[in-house]
Amino acid sequence: MIIWSQRGDPMDRPDEKKLVREKDPAPAPPEKDPKIEAELAAKREKIRLSFVPGDKKILESLKTWPGKGKGENGEIAIIPVDGRLIAYSPQKSLLAVAAFPPLSPVRIYDLSAQKEILALQVSISHVADLDFSPDGSLLAIFGNSGFPTVEIWDVKEGKKTNGRGGLGAVFAPNGQLAIPMMTRKLVFFDPKSKQETQVFQAPPWSPNSEWHFSVRLMPNVAARGRFVASVIESDASYKVIVWESTTERKFRELPVPFARAITLTPDGWTLGMVQPSKDLNKLVLWDLEKNKQDTIFETDDTHDVLAQHSLAISPDGKVLAYNDSHQLLLLDFPTGKVRHRIEGKVGKQVFSSGGRILAAPLPLGIGFWDVSDLLKKH
């Protein structure tokens, strides 16, 4: 487990007697117009359906991939590629794969053409996360190269366009990159202008506790719809801060006992998170409109409280994939009913843009599943 954090030099801290912590104003009621939300949902579904034919083509390609293997958990193919982290391009049949350290290139595969097309010679020795931009033209790579680093690569040209410090990176729907910083700030970075366009400030430190962003080889920031959320922690507790990306206003401050992974639904209005402990893993959904949480799934098969947990929600918002590194579960959203269970060591999972394909790193390569086939079996 690796933890990167910044607590600052005590000499740089303001005088405690002069420190005045302003009380955050109560958030105004969210403006969730049912008509507008229905129109946006219809638009998202239209976009998703446009990718379904491409998913079908990729499935056929995977079935005939040279040298592919076949697993015992319903995989349609296991591609013999060394990888521990993957990211699926939202616009093309491209898959980014980061291998195990030490220093290795991040490779880009064209799944339709059944070949590797790029090898990005990143300077990051331990890649912790990957994320494609909404148009698929850029790839953000986050990890450790002596200090927490984010690199941005042009996928078409195979060139690095920018590198900077940061404790994570995820693209928002508008194409900007949300990056938690060591200074307890969350910045929105425009890859085109290479400028910070918005800055969100996490709660300030206090004499008894200091809040700071942290990374444990997992996504600690999520951005979808109008919201961006990130995990921050102190010596004693955790919070998930949710901001409105359009107004730079803190929308919710969610106190949680522990948080291992977070994700947002396609519409941005529901936050999913894993709350593990040594006795029980909880999968929690938080309704951001009603400011109400609900535990939809629990398991005492914890294996390791420090395991890398991950969540992914299908593009249609109907299937939630939950992974504790030792098993991968497909759950109905939002009921939490288990539809399929994949046993064994599984890496961070991703859905294709059409939602038909699920992929995840396995010990023998990258595994691919036909989601519709898995759901039909149960």
> Which residues are CB-neighbours of 82 under 8 A, at least 6 positions away?
97, 99, 100, 365
Question: What proportion of the chain, given as a percentage, has pLDDT over 90?
Answer: 43
Provide the pLDDT for residue 152.
96
> Which residues are CB-neighbours of 143 under 8 A, at least 6 positions away?
122, 124, 125, 126, 127, 128, 129, 149
In a domain? residue 300: yes
In a domain? residue 33: no
For residue 57, pLDDT over 90 is answered with: yes
Provide the pLDDT for residue 359.
96
For residue 281, pLDDT over 80 is answered with: yes
pLDDT band at 237 (very low <50, low <70, confident <90, very high): low
Provide the pLDDT for residue 30.
61
As a whole number, mean pLDDT of residues 235-250 equals: 76
In a domain? residue 338: no
Provide the pLDDT for residue 148.
86
The pTM (predicted TM-score) of the whole model is 0.86
373's enclosing H/E stretch is helix 371-376
Provide the pLDDT for residue 228.
87
In a domain? residue 70: no
pLDDT band at 28 (very low <50, low <70, confident <90, very high): low
As a whole number, mean pLDDT of residues 187-214 equals: 71
Average pLDDT, the chain: 82
For residue 150, pLDDT over 90 is answered with: yes
As a whole number, mean pLDDT of residues 251-255 equals: 86
Question: What proportion of the chain, given as a percentage, has pLDDT over 70?
Answer: 83
Domain limits for position 167: 122-316
Contact between 364 and 75 under an 8 Å Cβ cutoff? The reply is: no
**CATH label of the domain that carries residue 218:** 2.130.10.10
Q: Which pair of structure tokens corresponds to residue 364?
A: 């023998």
In a domain? residue 249: yes
- Tally of structural domains, the chain: 1
Provide the pLDDT for residue 297.
87
> Which residues are CB-neighbours of 136 under 8 A, at least 6 positions away?
89, 90, 91, 92, 94, 155
For residue 177, pLDDT over 70 is answered with: yes
In a domain? residue 50: no
In a domain? residue 190: yes
As a whole number, mean pLDDT of residues 236-252 equals: 78
Question: Per DSSP, what are the bridge partners of residue 299?
Answer: 281
For residue 206, pLDDT over 80 is answered with: no
Choice between 212 and 251, residue whose per-residue pLDDT is larger: 251
As a whole number, mean pLDDT of residues 276-288 equals: 84
In a domain? residue 45: no
Q: Is the dihedral of CA 266, 203, 235, 144 positive or negative?
A: positive
**Residue among 296, 287, 283 at smallest CA distance from 337:** 296
